[in-house]
């Protein structure tokens, strides 16, 4: 395990280089994380020493590639405490995982007048697939509201749960508010009605210690690129009963068992879902990312981020005219902080911060129903990871004040 005062930035090549001749502070990890040298080396090493296709080849290189690919699956299973590596399906992203669940499972079991519950705080990737499935099946999409901390309002959730509920699909952590939902409690309530729980863990897998068995989610999805891994690799976790019932949504090589002119049968779970040549190096890169995270320890990552968020929230609250969305208490918060400055468009604030060397994000963050719920069109979002430092937070605060003063002086 790494020393808790380790200089993590030193492990990330991009964080040690100027951008167009200027030093940069990266505060957009909720969109995508940076990659440590350890992950870059794992990807390069595979292509340089053992690039071959998996599962079907009898040659030594193919066998080694298959071993590495399946070892990566086991690494993911261990990371989330899945019962078996067979519970882990490799996909392209959280988005693809959620689409596969909606199309391959939910569309098979939903009937007219059944209900799907999601929240107003979901990413579009956890809204649109359910809209489409509802249209296809005649099911009804039901939205649950939030409490004052930006978490799922459990009272409202319980009111909307019924015998008609067949699917509940919620984020573990909001990509806008940084609020953490009580998934284990939600699972208990959901299962009392015999419904299945789908969890979007895109923002929690990089930051919290996940235990899918304790959470008791039926499905759970996350992406590699938000947790130090490469882009183009995602994970779909499922309990074995729902994976067995779920139908593949892509067909071709790898996933078949036998094919005749008129019929075909599938490989067992999870290979039956992985048609074609998979993202082998993506899985290997994700495994390297998990190894790196394990060296730090997810508990340590939580502690580092908590200190940064506590510092940032305290400093932000001292700035006149600022509105912070989501939990106001750092204990209920992850490293995502969204805010607006009164009278200033978020894009103007983001551009001003960019000129000050601070990389944040402005917009609706693929969560327009939440923006409507909050009564805004967009927000500025700063998102921290363990490789950020208290100095980064302080520079953000100074930059916000500079941007605020510039616009106030410019329009005075």
Tell me, yes or no, if 366 is annotated catalytic: yes
Which pair of structure tokens corresponds to residue 29?
């990890």
Q: Going by DSSP bridges, is the β-strand pair 234-238/358-359 parallel, antiparallel, or unpaired?
A: unpaired
pLDDT tens, per residue, the chain with 412 residues: 555 557 999 999 999 988 777 789 999 999 999 999 999 999 999 999 999 999 977 889 999 999 999 999 999 999 999 999 999 999 999 999 999 999 999 999 999 999 999 999 999 999 999 999 999 999 999 999 999 999 999 999 999 999 999 999 999 999 999 999 999 999 999 999 999 999 999 999 999 999 999 999 999 999 999 999 999 999 999 999 999 999 999 999 889 999 999 999 999 999 999 999 999 999 999 999 999 999 999 999 999 999 999 999 999 999 999 999 999 999 988 999 999 999 999 999 999 999 999 999 999 999 999 999 999 999 999 999 999 999 999 999 999 999 999 988 765 4
Rg of the chain over Cα atoms, rounded to whole angstroms, equals 22
Three-state DSSP state, 160: helix
Q: Please say whether the dihedral angle defined by the alpha carbons of residues 127, 132, 135 and 138, taken in this order, is positive or negative.
A: negative
Q: Spell out the domains of the chain, with CATH numbers in brackets.
A: 8-29+298-410 (3.90.1150.10), 41-294 (3.40.640.10)
Three-state DSSP state, 308: helix
Contact 185, 170 (CB under 8 A): no
Segments in 332-389 forming alpha helices (H): 346-355, 368-374
CB-based contacts of 5, cutoff 8 Å, min separation 6: none
**What are 380's strand-pairing partners?**
339, 362
Give the distance from CA 188 to its chain's centroid: 22
Q: Which of 38, 366, 376, 397 is catalytic?
A: 366
Whole-model pTM above 0.85?
Answer: yes
CA distance 397 to 351: 15
Contact 76, 282 (CB under 8 A): no
Which pair of structure tokens corresponds to residue 100?
């596969």
């Amino acid at each position: 395990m790494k020393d808790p005062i380790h200089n993590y930035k030193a492990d990330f090549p991009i964080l040690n280089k100027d951008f167009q001749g200027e030093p940069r502070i990266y505060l957009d990890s909720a969109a995508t994380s940076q990659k440590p040298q350890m992950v870059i080396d794992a990807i390069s090493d595979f292509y340089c020493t053992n690039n071959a296709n998996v599962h079907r080849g009898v040659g030594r290189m193919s066998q080694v590639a298959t071993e590495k690919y399946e070892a990566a699956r086991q690494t993911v299973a261990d990371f989330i405490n899945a019962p078996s590596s067979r519970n882990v399906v490799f996909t392209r992203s959280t988005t693809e995982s959620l689409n596969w669940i909606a199309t391959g499972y939910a569309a098979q079991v939903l009937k007219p007048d059944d209900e799907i519950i999601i929240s107003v705080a979901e990413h579009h990737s956890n809204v649109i697939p359910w809209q489409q499935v509802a249209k296809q099946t005649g099911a009804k999409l039901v939205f649950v509201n939030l409490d004052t901390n930006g978490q799922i309002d459990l009272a409202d959730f319980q009111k909307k749960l019924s015998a008609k509920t067949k699917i509940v699909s919620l984020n573990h952590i909001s990509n806008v508010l940084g609020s953490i939902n009580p998934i284990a409690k939600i699972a208990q309530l959901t299962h009392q009605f015999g419904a299945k729980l789908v969890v979007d863990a895109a923002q929690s897998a990089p930051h919290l210690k996940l235990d899918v068995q304790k959470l008791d989610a039926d499905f759970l999805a996350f992406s590699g690129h938000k947790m130090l891994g490469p882009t183009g690799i995602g994970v779909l976790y499922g309990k074995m009963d729902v994976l067995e019932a779920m139908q593949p949504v892509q067909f071709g090589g790898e996933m078949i068992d036998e094919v005749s002119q008129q019929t075909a049968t599938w490989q067992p779970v999870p290979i039956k879902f992985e048609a074609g040549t998979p993202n082998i190096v993506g899985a290997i890169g994700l495994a390297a990312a998990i190894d790196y995270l394990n060296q730090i320890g997810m508990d340590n990552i939580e502690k580092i981020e908590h200190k940064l968020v506590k510092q940032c929230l305290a400093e932000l609250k001292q700035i006149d005219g600022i509105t912070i969305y989501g939990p106001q208490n750092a204990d209920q918060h992850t490293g995502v902080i969204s805010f607006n400055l009164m009278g200033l468009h978020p894009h103007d604030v983001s551009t001003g911060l960019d000129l000050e060397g601070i990389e944040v994000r402005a917009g609706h963050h693929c969560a327009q129903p939440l923006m409507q719920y909050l009564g805004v069109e967009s927000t500025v979002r700063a998102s921290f990871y363990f490789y950020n430092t208290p100095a980064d937070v302080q520079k953000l605060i100074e930059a916000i004040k500079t941007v605020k003063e510039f616009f106030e002086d410019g329009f005075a």
